[in-house]
Amino acid sequence: MTDKSARQTVLFPDLCDKPVVATFDEPHSSSDGGALLLTAIDRRVKLTARLAAAVTDARDDAKVRHTLHDLLAQRIYGIGSGYPDANDADALADDPIQKLLLGRDPVTGQRLASQPTLSRFENRATARWLYRLAVALTDTVIGHHQRRLRGRARRITIDLDPTDDRTHGAQQLTFFNGHYDTWCYLPLLAFVTFDDEREQHLVAAMLRPGNAAATDGVVGFVKRLLPRLWTAFPGARIRLRLDGGFASPLLFDVLEAAKVEYVIAMGENSVLARAAAPYLEQIRAATTAAHETTKTYGECRYRTRSWPHERRVVIKAEIVCLAGRAPQDNPRFVVTNLRQTPRWIYEHVYCARGEIENRIKELKGGLQIDRTSCSRFWPNQLRVLLTAAAYVLLQELRRRAAHTAFAHAQVPTLRERLFKLGARLVVSVRRVVVHLPAACPSIRAWCQIAAACGLSPG
C-alpha cells in the first residue's frame, strides 16, 4: 500500500450515532482474497504453463525481471479477477493476493509487472507467436477434457459463431460492417460440447477484420480441430452446428469427406421459398382462424450450381402473428446430413446452438473480450486470446462448483461472490495465512469448490 493511498480518508459524520471514518491504511490486504481459486484451477489445467511453453522469449535473460509465464499469468488472472485493462497493473503491482497467485511472497515478494511492461509485452506479439498460443490453448482444453472423460465421448458438438467487437479509434484492420451498422472487428469463437453436458467449452478465439466474411478462417480451423478431437476421443461422432452465413460449398465438401455430421442454416432463395410454400399453405387456414403463430416442419432435396450433388434441407414453415399486424410468413432452412425427423433436427439439434449466445455474453459482458483498443491488430489478437484463457479457467471453476449454488452462475456472479472477498494476509516463517471475512455468505460454497480443486482443509 502506497503512502498516497494510505492517506485517503472519507468521513461519514451522520451515518450512525458516532462519526464513521473510512481510511485506506490496512497493510498486506486485498479485495480479491477469493481469487486463490483461479491459481488452484490453473494448476489443475496447467493452462498458463502450457501457453508460456508454446512460445520463446527473445529478451536478454540478464535484463528480464518478469518471466514470460509471469506476464501471461498476471494478465490472465487479472482479467479473471475483473481487471481487463492493463492500466490497472500499476495499482495492483503490490497487491498481496495478486502476487501470491504468481507464487511470490505476498509481503516481501517482487512487485508485479507495471502497465508499460505489459504494454511492451502485448506489442511484441507476432502472427507466428499468436498461432502457437492459439494452438496451445486448443490443445490444453481438449487434453484436459480427454483426461476428465478418459477419452470416452459418444458425440462431440462443435459450435462456431462470429460476434461484433465494436471499435472506437484507429485500430488496424477495423472496418465498417453493414450488418452490425458500426466499425468493428469480427472475432470468431469456437466451442465444443461433450455428449449431453450443459457447458459449451471455449476452445478457440480468433480476431478477424471488420469486413471478414462469415466463412473466413472456418475451413482451416475445422481442418485443424478435427484431427485433435479424433486423436483425443477416437470413438466419438463429431457434429458441427452453424448459423446462417457459413454455408459454403467447400465447407460442405470438407465435412462430408471427413464423415462429420452437420446442421447448417441457409438463407432463403426463390427455390427454397417454393419448396416451403406447400407447408405454409397447410397451416395458413389454422393460423388465420386462431390468429396465433403456427408452425410445421418438412424437408426437400436441394442443390445449387456449385454443389456436386443434392443435399437434404429441413424446412421450418412458420407463420408469425403479432398483435395489430397481418400474419407474416417466416420460413427457415437448415442443411443437414442427419437422418432424424425434421422437427427433431430443428428443435433438438439446431435450436440448441442458441445457448452459445450466453457464452458470448459472458465473454463480452463479464470479461470484456472486446477490450481491443490497441492501435495494432496483433496485440489485439493477443488480448482476445488472454481473455479466452481466463474464460477457460472460469468455465472449469464453474464445472467444479457442480454441487453448489454456483453450478450455473454467470461469470460476473462467480467473480463477485467467490473472488471479491476482503483479505488480510499474515506471513510467518512456516506459512501464509489469508484471513477472509467470517460474515461471507458464500463460505460453504467457497470451501466446497476449493476442495473440488484439490485444496485440503487446514
Instruction: State the DSSP string of 233-248.
Output: STT-EEEEEE-TT---
Query: 12 lies in a domain?
Result: yes
Return the pLDDT at 324. 77
Same domain, 64 and 136: no
Same domain, 82 and 166: no
Phi and psi, residue 281, nearest 5° = -65, -30
Listed in sequence order, the DSSP H helices in 373-425 are 377-400, 411-414
Query: 457 lies in a domain?
Result: no
The amino acid that residue 367 corresponds to is L
Same domain, 216 and 316: no
Q: What is the pTM of this model?
A: 0.93
Name the β-bridge partners of 328: 320
Query: 336 lies in a domain?
Result: no
Query: 381 lies in a domain?
Result: no
C-alpha cell of residue 322? 403479432
Name the β-bridge partners of 155: 237
Cα separation values, 53 from 47, 72, 103, 389, Å: 10, 11, 18, 15
Same domain, 38 and 3: no
Same domain, 320 and 361: no
Cα separation values, 257 from 159, 228, 253, 264, 278, Å: 19, 17, 6, 16, 33
Query: 112 lies in a domain?
Result: yes
Same domain, 1 and 37: no
Burial class (CB in 10 A: 0-12, 13-18, 19+), 173: middle
229: which residues sit within 8 A by CB, 6+ positions away?
A: 142, 156, 192, 236, 238
Same domain, 149 and 235: yes
Strand 311-320 relative to strand 328-329, pairing: antiparallel
Helix (H, G, I), strand (E, B), or coil: what is residue 417? helix
Same domain, 53 and 84: yes
The tally of domains found in the chain comes to 4
Return the pLDDT at 1. 42
Domain that holds residue 318: 270-330
Q: What CATH code is carried by the domain that includes residue 248? A: 3.30.420
Return the pLDDT at 7. 62
Query: 382 lies in a domain?
Result: no
Query: 11 lies in a domain?
Result: yes
Name the β-bridge partners of 367: none
Same domain, 109 and 134: no
C-alpha cell of residue 436? 477472509
Query: 458 lies in a domain?
Result: no
Return the pLDDT at 458. 53
Return the pLDDT at 5. 47
Return the pLDDT at 313. 97
User: What b/e readout covers 201-238, taking b as 16+ CB neighbours within 10 angstroms?
Assistant: bbbbbbbbebebebbebbbebbeebbebbeebbeebeb
Return the pLDDT at 457. 57
Same domain, 8 and 73: no
Greatest extent of the chain over all pairs of C-alpha atoms, in Å:
83
Say how far apart CA 119 and CA 28 lie, in whole Å: 27
Same domain, 131 and 102: no
Q: Are 32 and 426 in contact (CB under 8 A)?
A: no
Same domain, 274 and 248: no
**Each residue's pLDDT tens digit in the chain (458 positions)?**
444 544 677 777 777 777 878 778 788 899 999 999 999 999 999 999 999 999 988 887 888 889 999 999 999 999 999 999 888 898 899 999 999 999 999 999 999 999 999 999 999 999 999 999 999 999 999 999 999 999 999 999 999 999 999 998 789 999 999 989 999 999 999 999 999 999 999 999 999 999 999 889 999 999 999 999 999 999 899 999 998 888 899 999 999 999 999 999 999 999 999 999 999 999 998 888 888 899 999 999 999 999 999 999 999 999 998 887 888 999 999 999 999 999 999 999 999 999 999 999 999 999 999 999 999 999 999 999 999 999 999 999 999 999 999 999 999 999 999 999 999 999 998 999 999 999 999 999 999 999 998 766 55
Listed in sequence order, the DSSP H helices in 297-455 are 342-344, 356-361, 377-400, 411-414, 443-452
